[in-house]
């Protein structure tokens, strides 16, 4: 299953609301997770089952979607949110990831 | 708090075998609650899931690597390992061990850079 994220790059300011989209090449129900990765670090799980927030993740992060289209929304960007975000499907093996969306400071 | 740590050579020669071990602390692989995965990341391919192993030794390999890959587990040491043979420059990547596969990857090692070069 191929996952395509858009945009690949996003420039935004602190306080902005941003949305990242992940499209699957076939329907995956809600078997989707989102990760945040900062330079030199491993990815960190943010959301699973498309919309369930991982413990400890701030509530400004939210996810939605079903089937082939999913979104990750950050309601009010904080300085620590500037990072690269990846979606990943858990519908079938092999597990696959999107190509990433790099969120940069405007 | 479960922690994972990769170890192994950072430089491997072309055509040789890449070997890495993941040591799990703060939790037992033998609990059977999780699958244990390897994931790699390179600028060319992005994040690529390599495969998983279960405490019983059951495995699933990414078809793209299946012919060169072997995963094993040592429950007595709470470790699992990866062997990738016949490596080329395309196998140069940061290799991560991570908890999950049937579940999201909720715990990751810090990653280890493996370079394939003569």
Mean pLDDT of the residues in chain B = 97
Q: Determine the average pLDDT of the residues in B59-73.
A: 98
Through-space distance between the first and last CA atoms of chain B, rounded to whole angstroms: 39
Collect all residues of chain A within an 8 Å Cβ-Cβ radius of residue B108. 42-44
pLDDT tens digits for range B28-44 = 999 999 999 999 999 99
What pLDDT, on a 0 to 100 scale, did the predictor assign at position B45? 95
Q: Determine the average pLDDT of the residues in B1-19.
A: 98
| Longest CA span, chain A | 38
The Cα–Cα gap between A85 and A89 comes to: 14
Query: Strand order of the sheet with strand A18-24?
Result: A3-6, A18-24, A69-74, A61-66
Please check whether residue A53 touches B, CB under 8 A: no
Collect all residues of chain B within an 8 Å Cβ-Cβ radius of residue A41. 110-111
pLDDT tens digits for range A1-57 = 999 999 999 999 999 999 999 999 999 999 999 999 999 999 999 999 999 999 999
Q: Is B8 left (phi over 0), alpha (psi -120 to 50) or beta?
A: left
Q: Determine the average pLDDT of the residues in B48-52.
A: 98
Contact A90 B104 (CB under 8 A): yes
Say if CB B101 and CB B60 are below 8 A apart.
yes
pLDDT tens digits for range A82-93 = 999 999 999 999
Contact A43 B108 (CB under 8 A): yes
Contact B104 A41 (CB under 8 A): no
Contact A90 B62 (CB under 8 A): no
Contact B47 A86 (CB under 8 A): yes
What pLDDT, on a 0 to 100 scale, did the predictor assign at position B25? 98
Selecting from A42, A44, A99 the residue whose C-beta is nearest the C-beta of B46 gives: A99
What pLDDT, on a 0 to 100 scale, did the predictor assign at position A18? 98
Pairing outcome for strands B11-12 and B112-116 = parallel
Through-space distance between the first and last CA atoms of chain A, rounded to whole angstroms: 33
Could you tell me the pLDDT band of residue B83, with boundaries at 50, 70 and 90? very high
What pLDDT, on a 0 to 100 scale, did the predictor assign at position B44? 95
């Amino acid at each position: 299953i191929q996952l395509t994220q858009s945009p690949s790059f996003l420039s935004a300011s602190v306080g902005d609301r941003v949305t990242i989209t992940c499209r699957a090449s076939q329907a995956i129900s809600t078997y989707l997770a989102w990760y945040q990765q900062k330079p030199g670090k491993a990815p960190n799980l943010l959301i699973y089952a498309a919309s369930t927030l991982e413990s400890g993740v701030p509530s400004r992060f939210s996810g939605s979607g079903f089937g082939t289209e999913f979104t990750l929304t950050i309601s009010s960007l904080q300085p620590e949110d500037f990072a690269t975000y990846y979606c990943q499907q858990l519908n079938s093996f092999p597990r696959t990831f999107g190509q990433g969306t790099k969120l940069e400071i405007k | 708090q479960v922690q994972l740590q990769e170890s192994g050579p950072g430089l491997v020669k072309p055509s040789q075998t890449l070997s890495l071990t993941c040591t799990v602390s703060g939790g037992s692989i033998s609990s059977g609650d999780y699958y244990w995965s390897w994931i790699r990341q390179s600028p060319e391919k992005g994040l690529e899931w390599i495969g998983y192993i279960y405490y019983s030794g059951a495995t699933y390999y990414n078809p793209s690597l299946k012919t060169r890959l072997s995963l094993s587990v040592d429950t007595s040491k709470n470790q699992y390992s990866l062997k990738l043979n016949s490596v080329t420059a395309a196998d140069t990547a940061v290799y991560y061990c991570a908890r999950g596969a049937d579940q999201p990857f909720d715990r990751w090692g810090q990653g280890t850079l493996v370079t394939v070069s003569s």
